[in-house]
Amino acid sequence: MTAGIDAHVHLWDRALDPQDWIDPETMAPIARDFGSSDLQVMLASTGLGRAVVVQSSNSLAESVRLARLDPSVVAGLVGWVDLSAPVGPQLDQIRRHATVTLVGVRHLAHIDPDPEWMLREDVALGFTALDREGLSFDLVVRDWQLPQAAVLSGRYEGMRFVLDHLGGPPAPGADTRVWAAGLRELARRPNVVAKLSGLVSGLAPGSWRAEDLADRVLIALDAFGPERLLYGSDWPLAELGGGAVAWKAAVDRLLSGLSSAERAQVFGGNATDIYCRF
């Protein structure tokens, strides 16, 4: 099998898990279903072997279905559970008849009606349960939520937190000071790692070059180091910004100054240590 792990992909069947956020006109490249066979093709095109599948809706039923994917291409699942409800029975539902390992949990905190969902008292017991289970938590946040993420990760120092999409840096040309300050503060927490993912999903194909994103990647590299960064394609959303191949090539170029050992960490070694240690 080809070496390397893509630490952030999505798969969906819209008949079972409607993706109402997909506009069929402006998001035509992803306005269809994506399954294991599609994932295999994408991974082959980027030279990686397997991927971590991440939930795309706050749905326990979706996580149950994703847990039954093809383990030959899926290295692990970051699913969803309601952290304001008893977590154990929900985890049992996901794990029952699972073919892939549940390695973490994510909640779409960046679009939750409560902008401070992460710090709510009613989800604190849920985080305690995840910590006890040895599961990581993926942070999908806006730049202004990074301070909340720092508080949360400080409350559970023995738990691993994974920052998706570098915490949502602004588009090329925009002011990065708020984002950079929040990212650096969060990176001071040794139990937090970050994904080099999602930076082009909101950009038009052909409108960006690797160099346009260099400052954001270099800030992340300085803050986390190669030992705490994971490559993720954010596929199929990457197709909105030019495709997974273009994004992988951009990251390859931006990390060209790293040693071969450091690159191996970013392109799979760290994902194995964080997600695939079960």
pLDDT above 50: residue 239: yes
- Provide the pLDDT for residue 277: 61
Residues 65-89 pLDDT 10s: 999 999 999 999 999 999 999 999 9
Mean predicted confidence (pLDDT) in 45-52: 97
DSSP string for the chain: ----EEEEE--B-TTTS--TT--TTTTGGGSS-B-HHHHHHHHHHHT--EEEEE-SSS-HHHHHHHTTS-TTTEEEEEE---TTS-HHHHHHHHHTT-SS-EEEEEE-GGG-SSTTGGG-HHHHHHHHHHHHHT-EEEE---GGGHHHHHHHHHH-TTS-EEEGGGG-PPPTTS--HHHHHHHHHHHTSTTEEEEE--SSTTS-TTS--GGGGHHHHHHHHHHH-GGGEEE---BTGGGGGT-HHHHHHHHHHHTTTS-HHHHHIIIIIHHHHHHS--
Domain membership of residue 257 as a residue range: 5-275
Q: What pLDDT does 278 receive? A: 46
Q: What is the pLDDT of residues 146-173, one digit of tens each?
A: 999 999 999 999 999 999 999 999 989 8
Please give the pLDDT value at position 2: 45
Instruction: Provide the domain count of the chain.
Output: 1
Q: Does pLDDT of 1 surpass 70?
A: no
Better-scored residue on pLDDT, 276 or 15: 15
Average pLDDT, the chain: 95
| Residue 50 β-bridge partners | 5
Binned at pLDDT 50, 70 and 90, residue 276 comes out as: confident
Q: Is the pLDDT of residue 184 over 80?
A: yes
Q: pTM score, two decimals?
A: 0.96
Taking only the tens place, the pLDDT of each residue in 201-222 is 999 998 999 999 999 999 999 9
Q: Yes or no: say if 49 and 4 are a contact pair by the CB < 8 Å rule.
A: yes
**pLDDT of 126 strictly over 80:** yes
Give the CATH number of the domain where residue 256 resides: 3.20.20.140
